[in-house]
Amino acid sequence: MGLVRRGSVLPVTRGDAEMSRVGQRPRRPPHSLVPPSTGSSPRPTSLRRTAPDARIEGMTARGTTPALSARPPATPLIRVLSALAAGLALLVLTSGLLAPRAAADAPLRLDGRVTDLTSQGVVGSTADAEAAISAMETDGDYRLWAVYVDSFDGVDRIEWADTSAELSDLGEDDLLLAIAVEDRDYYISATDTVPDSVYDRADAAAATALTAAADQGAPWGDATVVVAEALQGGSGGVSGVTGPLVVGGVVVAGAAVGIGVVASRRRRNGNGAGTGRAGAPQGQTTEQLVAQAGPALVEIDDDLREFEQDLGFAEAQFGAEATREFSASLARAKPQVAQAFALRKQLDTLPEGDDAGRRAVATQILQICQGVSQQLGAQAEAFDALRQEQATVPATLEELGRRAEELRGRVEPARATLVNLAVQYPPTALASVSANPDHASQLIEGAGGSVVTGQQHVASGDAAAAVAQAHVARNALTQAAALLDAVDSAQQDLANAAARLQQATASITADVADADRLAPGDPALAPLTGAARQALATASSATAPGGDPLGALAALADAESALDAALAPRREQAEVAQRARAQIGERTARLDSAIRSTNAYIDARRGAVGPEARTRLAEAIRLLGVAHEESATDPQRAVATLQQAEGLAGSASQLAQADVAQWEQQQTQQGYGSSGGGGLDLGSLILGGMLGNNGARRRSSWGGGSSWGGGSSWGGGGGSSWGGGGSSRRSSSSSRRSSGSSRRSGGGSRGRSGGGRF
């Protein structure tokens, strides 16, 4: 039987199965830190990891790790595949015509447990990552590989990682962490025999560590360390939690109180052990800092253990999704605390006379403790907020019901507004808002149903389910309000455009006169003056019924920019700059309007809009900021930048509308509609981004709200953080284990959802 990955089947012939009985997974011995060799025999390794003191090794050490044995050699077929892959990579590299990137960025067969192929060698030493993998495999059920490259070279991250896993002959218990540092993209390749709880914990840990590496300068190798730590819990049980997670309401409540007690202690102590100790070491002697390091380590170690135990109860009370960030925080905190204990051991070896060295190490220990304390304390406070939500959910649902009634009263006026606008303007001018009242009405009605369902949960004593319904209702009402606001904004934008047409018409008329005066009969200017006159003719009728003032403004601006560029050599430089500055204000106002309307459209339909539209909108927002900087020193360049941004914003709007149209067609074919059980129908949930396409909650790529601060001529930068985080969805296909003769007699399909941008 083969290991199935994305529809491919590779035969498994790596030895006889080590099955204690049919259908049962044997306890696997630890393995080498190198993958299968293409040589004749595996080379042994004498690597050992000794942990004389559990605390010094970061609370997870369990004594001395036995010598690691090597894995069996690759099969003949794998060697053939590897040779073919190497030949293809060489062909691409030597041709120099197919891709400018290094061949190493293509899917590859791994030659080590931690492989760094980045141009800058971002990982540096792989010792910590390999030690974490070794410790994880000694006591856990899984094996981990990691590869860092500059880019996936345009290949989908799932395909890249799964292909590399296949080329490396990875099995059903093997995971591959693939990271493209320049793309800011990653994926963990795993078969669907790895439980969702384990996969999600590792995925969340990777996302947190990679974001810290990219944005805060944290070590890139930490991503491998925290994933190994996350996998060390085995088949999904929370390390350190013994007994059932849910023994009844009293036990769960007790766990919640435990988290609250720790959070309260942190607030009382000033956000943890490090605060006051590491925050201002200048006023303390070296001996005082050294004396504080030990108690700080003990306190943070106790807190970490307590938080790890309470996490299981928190998951039972709030659910895995609500505790995802807490789990990721724990996964990141453990190697940091382990580092602090290692520094404490180093501190003991420094001579008494090395005051500077001892002070630096002690300060670093206290700073680590402070950072971890604040990180975990923030998560505990988040749980406090969740518990507060449950306590106040009856009043929240009542308020949401009133809000739904208020918004319901705005739907018909919005419809009337669009009817009036349709008399004056063409459909193209109203395309982004024409369906808003109907969509808003669906969201409002669905939110009302969610409020009723939530109140039923309150009556039955299920506060957590009631809070979930309140979240759905609140998100739906927020989107409905944004849709109705967009109709009002469209009316105002169109009215303002009519007034701005007069100023734009006067400006380009002066340009045409300058062309006739400065270069009469110049054949190079004839097409440009002709385009300007055509734009003027269109503008003259744009304010009449059926006219498009926004479109006319854009045509005038483009014609004027082209004519100004041609006349620039004949004009004084000061006049050129002055005319460019005059255009900046008009173009900025128009671009601001386009960005706001397109962003509102995407935000209300983010479940259907793909990355292309979001990318163009994000780039338009970025270029708006660039133009703002250029306007002070080079107004002509600023005008060109704004013109480019306008094109991107228009393209984003068109792509977003096309995505929604395609999505609606697919929903019709799949038969999505009202669930019949109250609350929002499935189609509205998916379209609004409150559910993923498989019915699982997912995080909005726009953060649940507008990333455009509208109203400002030079609004903030920012943009889409497309993707990110993991999902608990499994691949729909899987293969079962059997009692065949191979060492791994079955497997699972790779290609599961997860990974993303960081």
Report d(CA 106, CA 161) in Å as an integer.
Answer: 10
Tell me if 687 sits within 8 A of 661, measured CB to CB.
no
Task: Please spell the DSSP secondary structure of 203-231, one letter per residue.
Answer: HHHHHHHHHHHHHH---TTHHHHHHHHHH
The amino acid sitting at 300 is I
- Closest of 649, 656, 658 to residue 605, by C-alpha: 656
Q: What is the mean pLDDT of residues 131-141?
A: 83
Instruction: Work out the pLDDT band at 570, boundaries 50, 70, 90.
Output: low
Q: Where are the domains of the chain?
A: 2-191+222-229+741-757, 249-388, 397-479
Answer yes or no: is pLDDT of 700 > 60: no
CA distance 63 to 414: 70
Percent over 70 (pLDDT), the chain: 66
Q: What confidence category does residue 702 fall into, taking pLDDT thresholds of 50, 70 and 90?
A: very low
Q: Is pLDDT of 477 > 60?
A: yes
Torsion of Cα atoms, 702 then 706 then 711 then 717, to 10° = -20
**Residue 623: pLDDT over 60:** yes
Confidence of residue 47 (pLDDT cuts 50, 70, 90): very low
Q: Is 170 helix (H, G, I), strand (E, B) or coil?
A: coil
Comparing 48-57, 292-301, 426-435, the range with the smallest average pLDDT is 48-57
Express as a percent the part of the chain with pLDDT over 90.
16
The encoded tokens of residue 424 equal 């004056």
Residue 187 has pLDDT above 60, yes or no: yes
The alpha carbon of 616 is separated from its chain's Cα centroid by a whole number of angstroms, namely 18
CA distances from 92 to 102, 107, 154, 259, 701 (A): 9, 13, 15, 55, 35
Residues 6+ apart with CB under 8 A from 18: 26, 28, 743
List Cα–Cα distances, 641 to 47, 360, 398, 611, 636, in angstroms: 57, 48, 49, 22, 9
Condensed to tens digits (0 to 9), the pLDDT of residues 343-376 reads 888 888 888 888 888 889 999 899 999 888 888 8
pLDDT of residue 447: 92
- Rounded Cα gap, residues 33 and 112, in angstroms: 7
CA–CA–CA angle 246, 250, 251 (5° rounding): 40
SS3 of 313, please? helix
Give 116's contacts (C-beta < 8 A, 6+ positions apart). Answer: 122, 123, 124, 126, 147, 148
Cα–Cα separations (whole angstroms), residue 246 to 243, 306, 314, 315: 9, 17, 10, 10
Yes or no: say if 273 and 343 are a contact pair by the CB < 8 Å rule.
no
Q: Which of 70-74, 557-561, 659-663, 737-741 has the lowest mean pLDDT?
A: 737-741
d(CA 50, CA 659): 56
What pLDDT shows up at residue 49? 29
Compute the distance between CA of residue 247 and CA of residue 103 in angstroms, rounded to an integer: 55
CB 74 within 8 A of CB 36: yes
Considering only residues 115 and 489, tell me which one the structure prediction assigns the higher pLDDT.
115
Q: Are 543 and 501 in contact (CB under 8 A)?
A: yes
Burial class (CB in 10 A: 0-12, 13-18, 19+), 340: buried
pLDDT of residue 751: 54
pLDDT tens track for 207-224: 888 988 888 788 899 999
CA-to-CA dists, residue 48 to 132, 142, 224, 341, 503, angstroms: 12, 19, 19, 19, 78
Average pLDDT, the chain: 70
Listed range (6-15, 325-334, 366-375) with the worst mean pLDDT: 6-15
Q: What is the pLDDT of residue 281?
A: 53
Distance CA 174, CA 643 (A): 50
Residue 105 has pLDDT above 90, yes or no: no
pLDDT confidence band for 282 (50 / 70 / 90): low
pLDDT confidence of residue 6 = 35
Answer whether residue 70 shows pLDDT above 50: no
Tokens of 550: 């926004």
The residue count for the chain? 758
The answer to whether residue 517 scores a pLDDT higher than 90 is: no
Helix extents (H) in 270-354: 286-318, 324-349
Q: Residue range 370-384: average pLDDT?
A: 80
- pLDDT level of residue 406 (50, 70, 90 thresholds): very high
Nearest CA-CA partner of 108 in 82, 76, 143: 82
Between 148 and 29, the more confident residue is 148
pLDDT band at residue 68 under the 50/70/90 scheme: very low
Q: Is the pLDDT of residue 58 over 80?
A: no
623-626-628-631 Cα dihedral, nearest 10 degrees: -110
> Could you tell me which residues are beta bridge partners of residue 189?
176
Give the strand order in the sheet containing 174-180: 114-116, 143-149, 174-180, 185-189, 756-757
**pLDDT, average across residues 65-75:** 38
Residues 6+ apart with CB under 8 A from 86: none
pLDDT-based confidence at 143, cuts 50/70/90? very high
Output 210 or 716, whichever has higher pLDDT: 210
- First-residue to last-residue Cα distance in the chain: 37
Query: Rounded to the nearest 5°, which phi and psi values hold at 592?
Result: -60, -45
* From 290-304, 309-323, 358-372, the region with the lowest mean pLDDT: 309-323
In order, the DSSP letters of 67-104 are PPBPPPPPPHHHHHHHHHHHHHHHHHHHH-SS-SS-GG
Q: Which residue has the higher pLDDT, 612 or 55?
A: 612
Angle at 521 between CA 518 and CA 522, to 5 degrees: 75
Per-residue confidence (pLDDT) for residue 546, from 0 to 100: 67
Q: Which of 195-204, 647-656, 709-718 has the highest mean pLDDT?
A: 647-656
Q: Angle at Cα 395 formed by Cα 390 and Cα 400, nearest 5°?
A: 105
